[in-house]
Structure 1
Amino acid sequence: MHHALFEILTGEYADGRKISNIPSEYDITVSVKDHLTRLLNARLGAMRHLPDYGLPDISNIQQKLPYSIKDMVEAIKNSILKYEPRLKQVDVFSKPMSGTDCILQLAVNARLPTGQYVQFETYFMSGGLARVEQGITKR
């Protein structure tokens, strides 16, 4: 079992699914996706005990798009490297918009402790909300 502390305490993922309902071969991937959703929706300074947990104010970055994409990618990668230790060889890059109603679409490619490569598609919506989905890994 490779669950985050919050999942262990509540017994469920952020989307309400019970940990016991996910087959064990998928639990680490679901747990990482769950934590990325929490991390990318948190804002710097929101947690007093971890003031650098999360991302900077997204509205400032969104106002400066497309020129601020590099800053956004760097902020996300740094947050993941610091606060999601289960991911190694992290690569974050922007993707072309695919007809969704999001403002920015990014991909996070990484390797799990099991050696498995994973990809998470991240969609930043107009209100600053980040939606994380597991992508298809092509490695």
Structure 2
Amino acid sequence: MFERRLLSRISDSEEARQRQPDLNDILADVLSHLRELFNIRKGSVSIRSDYGMVDLNSALGSFTDAIPLLEAEIASQITKFEPRLSHVNVRYIPDRDKPGTIGFAIHVVLETPDGGRKIKVDTQISQNGQVRISQ
């Protein structure tokens, strides 16, 4: 199993490539990829028309119908495009303190050289459709 995406590995120096991957480095690369994946609109990548998220503005037209759609979309994108994550579980998390955002908790297993590690990723979708990722 690879620890980082190809372009990330190519840009590193030879010395950095020879050391054992650190779990924090792997996690940082995964989170970076999820940020990219969730902020690209489906259909905008010519070689993979299914890469990226649905248009969030149209999906949020009916809030109650949008939640299950977004949960399924997030899980589908992770399953298809982030092979270092498995056992994907996405849940809506209401936040009354941030009425302009929609939050999700993503529970996954990060595949590592020594097995796997359960992690939780918080995702916030703002009114303008921007997706923020944190752990």
- Tell me the equivalent position of 2:133: 132
1:33 deviates by 0.6
Q: Which residue of 2 aligns with 1:4?
A: 5
Partner of 2:80: 82
Report the counterpart of residue 15 of structure 2 in structure 1.
Answer: none
Q: In the alignment, residue 74 of structure 2 is paired with which amino acid?
A: I
The TM-score with structure 1 as length reference comes to 0.81
**1:49-96 CA distances to partner (integer Å, 9 max, x unpaired)?**
011001110001122113210011101111110000100101011002
Find the aligned partners of 1:48 and 1:122 in 2 and give their Cα distance. 26
Q: CA RMSD in A?
A: 1.9
Q: How far apart, in 2, do the equivalents of 1:31 and 1:98 lie? A: 31
In the superposition, the TM-score normalised over structure 2's length comes to: 0.83
Amino acid in the other structure paired with 1:76: I
Rg larger for: 2
Following TM superposition, the consecutive aligned residue runs of length 4 or more in structure 1 with deviations greater than 3 angstroms are none
**Structure with the greater relative contact order (CA < 8 A, sep ≥ 6): 1 or 2?**
2
Structure 1 pair 63–103 and aligned structure 2 pair: CA distance change class (3 A): farther
**Structure 2 gap ranges (5+):** 13-20
- Report the CA distance between 1:101 and its aligned residue: 5.7
Number of equivalenced pairs: 124
